[in-house]
Amino acid sequence: MSTLIEQVKADGLPRHVALIMDGNGRWAKVRGLPRTAGHEAGAQTVETIVRHVARNLSIPYLTLYAFSTENWRRPRPEVRFVLTLIEDYVTKKLSEFVHEGIRLRFLGKRSQLPRTLKRIVERSELATQTGTRLALSVALNYGGREELAMACKAIACLVRERAVNPEKVNASMLSSFLYSAGLPDPDLVIRTGGEKRLSNFLLWQAAYSELYFTDVLWPDFRPADLHEAISEYQQRERSFGA
């Protein structure tokens, strides 16, 4: 592990890593367990990875895809379990986040969230707002297409009210209306579980991100797997279309 840590501390470390945490259900299925067991195991992996990034890697931004706008289509008991799991995790870890200097931020539409979870989201953002070690963003009820539509509507309203000249609308302005406003675009997007797609995650922000796909299911994802992804990222040459 120490060799890997030294390896990823070389030049070219990504500033912002985003994770699509896929494979909880399949992890449980191959073990003959209910899907809820996979989500619980996945939550343990979140704890491991967040703690490792905060304590051992000089990566200031980490974003986790926790619950998408499409996930509401899953069976109601599973949706309720996942949202309760997120609620319990944030509540349990909040004091540690404050102590560790981890700043929490939630990306997504909050109006649909259960009232208790919404309060916890707001409280945790307020409690951790001075954290400087790691900016941890959690995509919760997040959808990239909906995010873009929301930003376009907001800009359209300003244009209609003549508060903005339509000739002045540009990429920078649109970015300022996204859930992720103020965050740097992810340098590296990692997806676990073997699928090779973004699944409506950070569609605008990931325009020039390096993508890394692994067959490792999220509950089995370890710091060594993260190091492997970062190591490959460091070997790529980023041209940004030039």
As annotated, the active-site residues are: 22, 71
Task: Tokens for 114, please give them.
Answer: 């259960």
Rounded Cα gap, residues 169 and 199, in angstroms: 27
Longest dimension (CA), the chain: 60
Rounded Cα gap, residues 140 and 129, in angstroms: 18
Q: What are the distances in angstroms from CA 4 to CA 27, 53, 175?
A: 26, 13, 35
Residues 6+ apart with CB under 8 A from 95: none
Q: What are the distances in angstroms from CA 198 to CA 81, 194, 212, 236?
A: 24, 12, 11, 20
Mapped to the 3 state alphabet, what secondary structure does 30-80 carry? HCCCCHHHHHHHHHHHHHHHHHHHHHHCCCCEEEEEEEEHHHHHCCHHHHH
The number of beta carbons lying within 10 Å of the beta carbon of residue 79 is 14
